[in-house]
Amino acid sequence: MKNARLPQTGRLAKWGVGAGLIIATSLLVAACGSGSSSSNEPRATAWSLPNADLQNTRNVGGQINRSNVSSLGVAWTVPITASGAFGGYSSTPVVADGVMYAQDIDSNVQAIDLDSGEVDWTHKFNSPSVGPNGLSVVDGTVYGATADSAFALKASSGDQLWIKKLTRNANEGVDMPPGVHDGTVYVSTVPGNATKFYAGSGQAVLWAMDASTGAVKWKWDEVPANLWSDKYTQLNSGGGQWYPPTFDGQGNLYVGVANPAPFPGVKAGAKSLPWGSSRPGPDLYTDSIVKLDEQTGKVIWHYQLTPHDIYDYDLENSPILANVNGKQVVIDGGKAGILVAVDAQTGKPVWKREVGVHNGHQNDNIAALHGDFSKLHAPETIEPGDLGGIESQLASDGKTVYAAVNNLPSHYASDDGGLAAVAFAPPTSGTGDLVAVDEATGKVKWDDKLPSSPYGAATLTNGVVFTTTYDGTLYAFNSDTGDELWKTNLAAGTNAPVAVFGDTVVTAGSLAGAGQKAQIIAYRLGSKNTLASVGGSASPTPAPTTTSAAATTTSSSSQGSSAASAVDLSASGTTLAFNTNNLTAKAGNVSVDFTNNSALAHDVVLIDSQNKILGQTPIFQGGSKSFNASLSPGTYTYYCSVPGHRQAGMQGTLTVK
């Protein structure tokens, strides 16, 4: 394994094992000079954790500051070969001993020399995830997860040390980077995977495993085994974590827990169960900050932000610890578009702040909880929507918390149609805010309006806050004022976050459209190169590859016969879109013909205004499939049912005349 450029001042220091996920040795730097932050909090220069440190602050030291950030240029690129519903890469890379470790959406791991961009080794799992996933590096070991298991690899070679399956049925999955602290690995399951989500019987569990062997030490059920109803367990699901726990160094950990389902409601046969009726009550511990004992997994306290959630308002981000007026508080935010601070000792709220666009539905969950359905309406447009709010990680400099907020609505066609009744605004139509909020008071210090949704989290270094937006822009702002310092185009769309390693910034153009290349991109101070001058995504030098599991594909023959009318759909490239969002056909026997020559697997589902499925193709990649449906004059909806694809814009209207 290479150990490049370590002796340089501020360049990466070697890691040692400490009291957490993976922490730097005692090398700490304080902000100084004209490029410094107003905060006096010390920051490690190392980043070997998903969110940089034990407190998940995403705040590091190094050479980059306000005065020199505009001198960043392209150092190298590495191609992204995976593809998924939200691109092929959505994790934060980590670095140890001059080597960067990255995981793509297929769970494959690469070791990349930070100095040169050469790939040292690749370990392939070929296990598609919905992301964000990611890695932690501790004492020469790389920890991560596939779509159903936690694993450990030898950092120097990529050789597998152990793997532990965590899912218990086909409706569960794993899509988070692990936490690693004091010899224990923490990984949560979620109620879904790359083939289906919220299909029922999905109980999220946080597993604590021995870091050396993968043996289970304890597990904590984030939601009850009966999923709040003995009668409707097969319909319900909930909980899960997207990012690692936060550790306070006093034997406690804090997690943010995701949402319950179905939402907004569902049918059980002919019976309507609107507004979460299949899961009565507050649906603990979903949408909650929970404090646990590290040694036992026992709950110490919880704070639930959205009891009886009916709009997919995960509280999914890692909590951040802050000291406010001599008291420790826990700050978190999620898809409800709300930042909240609670007392670390009691869990009682200190302040709460809405951020981004809200259109008046923040208390709908309370009406649903109490069965007061007269206050609820469908059809209805809700903002934040399912892909809105604070979708990605927070950052903190000790005085201010920074959040990237997505302004994107969802339209609910009915109160009991489940996910099929939700129409998602295309992410390309979203806007955003990057907000700075005072950790002591919850007061907004500044709010930058962004022309595209910032799914790229917030990352801090020396008074500079970075984020990326869906349109493929990497931004740097002054963390005190919000003034824009620098921006650059990634030559592809992105939902990838930003990491800082000494004098280097790493992110990705992960959502490649027609004629674009998906690639990890490293920017370095003083480099004069551009994406064009380094050859875009030129192939790296071949490196050793280990494969733990092969991808499994299935195929199905096309079906259909002659029809009175036919409509043609197609998909191509890696964009999540059909060739058209509007089709017209004559009433009668209609043939829907779908050609999928894209890099992703898709299907087509046709439903009526009551969300009844009238026909569908299998999920496939390559070639054409079709189905017939007898249609009367009216308006119908077609969409791709692969998890995340409809939300990203793969839906349209078929008008039958």
Query: 343 or 25, which is more confident?
Result: 343
* pLDDT exceeds 60 at position 230: yes
* pLDDT exceeds 70 at position 145: yes
What's CA 359's distance to the chain center, in Å? Answer: 24
| HEC string for 432-494 | EEEEEEECCCCCEEEEEEECCCCCCCCEEECCEEEEEECCCEEEEEECCCCCEEEEEECCCEC
How far apart (Å, rounded) are the C-alpha atoms in residues 604 and 600? 13
Cis amide bond preceding 633, omega within 30: no
Identify residue 366 by its one-letter amino acid code.
Answer: I
Query: 637 or 482, which is more confident?
Result: 482
pLDDT of 124:
97
pLDDT of 574:
55
- The two three-digit tokens of residue 616, written as one number: 């569908």
Q: Averaged over 627-653, what is the pLDDT? A: 84
- The two three-digit tokens of residue 459, written as one number: 């990352």
Three-state SS at 409: coil
**C-beta of residue 370 within 8 angstroms of C-beta of residue 352:** no
Local structure of residue 458 (DSSP, 8 states): -
Per-position b or e across 163-194, b if 16+ CB within 10 A of its CB: bbebbeeebbbbbbbbbbbeebbbbbbbbbbb
How far apart (Å, rounded) are the C-alpha atoms in residues 591 and 44? 61
For 495-542, write each residue's pLDDT tens digit. Answer: 999 999 999 999 999 998 878 899 999 999 999 999 988 865 433 445
pLDDT of 652:
87
How far apart (Å, rounded) are the C-alpha atoms in residues 213 and 229? 36
- The two three-digit tokens of residue 489, written as one number: 């185009």
For 533-555, write each residue's pLDDT tens digit. Answer: 886 543 344 577 877 743 332 23
* pLDDT exceeds 50 at position 42: no
- The two three-digit tokens of residue 61, written as one number: 């030291």
Q: Averaged over 410-416, what is the pLDDT? A: 95
How far apart (Å, rounded) are the C-alpha atoms in residues 122 and 103? 10
How far apart (Å, rounded) are the C-alpha atoms in residues 425 and 7? 49
For 272-300, write each residue's pLDDT tens digit. Answer: 999 999 999 999 999 999 999 999 999 99
The band of 61, judged by pLDDT with boundaries at 50, 70 and 90, is very high
Please identify which residue in the block is written with the tokens 């995403």. Answer: 58
Q: Which domains does the chain have, with CATH numbers?
A: 69-541 (2.140.10.10), 565-656 (2.60.40.420)
Ramachandran sector of residue 26 (left: φ over 0; alpha: ψ -120 to 50; beta: rest): alpha
How far apart (Å, rounded) are the C-alpha atoms in residues 3 and 225? 47
- DSSP of 25-94, one letter per residue? -S-EE---STT--S----EES---STTSSTT---EE-SS--TTTGGGEEEEEEEE-----BTBS--SPPE
Least confident of 61-65, 104-108, 480-484, 613-617: 613-617
- DSSP of 129-172, one letter per residue? --S----EEETTEEEEE-SSEEEEEETTT--EEEEEE---STT-
For 249-277, write each residue's pLDDT tens digit. Answer: 999 999 999 999 999 999 999 999 999 99
Among residues 343, 338, 337, the alpha carbon closest in space to that of 302 is found at 343
* pLDDT exceeds 90 at position 45: no
Q: Are strands 237-238 and 202-203 parallel, antiparallel or unpaired?
A: parallel
Q: Averaged over 113-140, what is the pLDDT? A: 97
Question: Which whole-number Å values give the CA distances from 119 to 115, 287, 641, in the listed order?
Answer: 11, 39, 35
The four Cα atoms 313, 304, 366, 205 give a dihedral, to 10 degrees, of 60
**C-beta of residue 600 within 8 angstroms of C-beta of residue 621:** yes
**C-beta of residue 41 within 8 angstroms of C-beta of residue 58:** no
Least confident of 228-232, 550-554, 616-620: 550-554
Among residues 445, 515, 517, 522, the alpha carbon closest in space to that of 480 is found at 445
Query: 170 or 565, which is more confident?
Result: 170
How far apart (Å, rounded) are the C-alpha atoms in residues 372 and 89? 42
H or E element, residue 525: strand 519-525
For 197-221, write each residue's pLDDT tens digit. Answer: 999 999 999 999 999 999 999 999 9
Q: Which residues contact 559 (CB under 8 A, 6 or more apart)?
A: 625, 626, 627, 628
Least confident of 43-57, 263-277, 320-334, 520-534: 43-57
Residues forming beta bridges with residue 46, ordered by sequence position: none
Provide Rg for the chain, Cα atoms: 24
How far apart (Å, rounded) are the C-alpha atoms in residues 90 and 83? 11
Local structure of residue 454 (DSSP, 8 states): -
For 619-629, write each residue's pLDDT tens digit. Answer: 887 889 999 99
For 417-467, write each residue's pLDDT tens digit. Answer: 998 889 888 888 999 999 999 999 999 999 999 999 999 999 999 999 999
